[in-house]
Every structure is written in structure tokens, then in C-alpha cells.
Amino acid sequence: MTLYPCPKGHDSTDPVWCSECSTRMTGAPAAASPGGEICPTPGCGTPRDGHSRYCENCRYDFDLGTAYTGDGAVTLAPVDVPPAQPDPAPAASAPTVAPLDTRRWEVVISVDAAEWEQDVTAPAPIGEPDRVFPLDLAEHLIGRRSNHPEIHPTIVPDERDHGVSRRHALLIRQADGSYAVKELGSTNGTKLNGKFLPPGILTALSVGDSLSLPFWTRVTIRTQP
């Protein structure tokens, strides 16, 4: 078996992404995108998807040439809403329709070692800056970077947090513009505001809610006008 040296000191069986920590290997060739653009974020190198504004992996802003900051308009991917079914019985009054949430939803990824027992071999990196990801898609997968062709996380926590699964949790935009979360049966679980989420159950999210992923990743929900 051929092993490749990882920048973080591991022996990887994959020449492009480290099979141990998923870090992009030094000198790994980057596939070309239709426009020839490659995400310049260190450790990413993901080809730009057509003319999409944000990197599908780390949410780098190609238009501004910076990491996502929340500046500028966000174009939302469409959500499939089933057509309303006619009510065979006459309605006594007009149904109440929830107003559309037009705020821009975001998540803030931060380091918080207070919620879980720590992995002594990889302690929380205190002092790391927060990272902000826009919620501009109908679904956002939270998870560690994966070599699997069908696993494409759009919100990637710090790769040093080995408690995070490759498919950890899914954020799903609702018909009214808000978001909900589904725990995907991750190895170590997910807490919402300090309480474990049951796997496979869709749970509505509110601004200010906090998802805690082991061992030290916190995902905070916020919006902009």
C-alpha cells in the first residue's frame, strides 16, 4: 500500500485528501472548474461551481475575493414547495399564512470546549477566530470534509475537531424562509441549546439557537436584515 505524507504528519492512503484528518495534501492537483477558477482558501482548493458566488466547500466569496463576511446580497437556492391541496369543505374563515422570513440567515462557527469531555490527544485550539457561513442553499450539510463522491458538506468545522462526523447534521430551509435542523445519526451526537437532538427528527431553529458538536465546535444561528 502506498502512503502519502500529510501536512499534519499523518500517513494517508489518499494522495489528494488525508485519509486520517481530511486535510488537502501538499501538491495535490486541483481539478479544473468550467471557468478555470479554484478556491484560494488554504487547504481547500475546490473548483468553482460555474459562476456560483460562494465556494461549495468553505463558502469563500469569489465576487469579493474574501472569506464570507455577510456583506452584499445572498441569492437563495429555490425550495420545492408542494402545491396547496383544495379543501373539500367550505372554510369558515381565511387560513392564516405565516409571513415569509426575508432575513439572511447565517451560522457562526466557534470553539467552545465547555459542553463536552475533551479529547486529550487533540485539545480545543483556544483563541481561534470565529468563521461565518451564509445559509444560501435549500440544504446545508454540516460535517468534516469527505473523499466520498456523494458526501459534500457545505459547512465544514475545524478539521482538528475529530468528534465531528462526515455527515453530522443537516440544516434545511423551510417554506417560510426559516431553517430547521436534522441530526443525521452522527457518532457522538448533537446538542441544541444544551439538549441532545434525536436523530432523524426535523427541529425548527430560532435566531440565537446554538448547536454544539463534539468535541469543541459550536454553531450559532443568526440573521442579518
Report the CATH number at residue 201: 2.60.200.20
In a domain? residue 66:
no
What pLDDT is stored for residue 192 in this prediction?
98
- Domain of 131 in residue numbering reads as 104-224
**How far is Cα of residue 76 from the mean position of the Cα atoms in its chain?**
15
pLDDT tens-digit map of 169-212 = 999 999 999 999 999 999 999 999 999 999 999 999 999 999 99
Instruction: Tell me whether residue 14 is in a domain.
Output: no
Q: 10-40, pLDDT tens digit by residue? A: 777 767 666 665 555 666 554 444 567 888 8
Q: Classify residue 78: in a domain, yes or no.
A: no
Number of domains in the chain: 1
Residue 35 counted as domain residue: no
Average pLDDT, stretch 138-153? Answer: 88
Residues 100 and 173: beta-carbon distance below 8 Å: no
pTM: 0.64
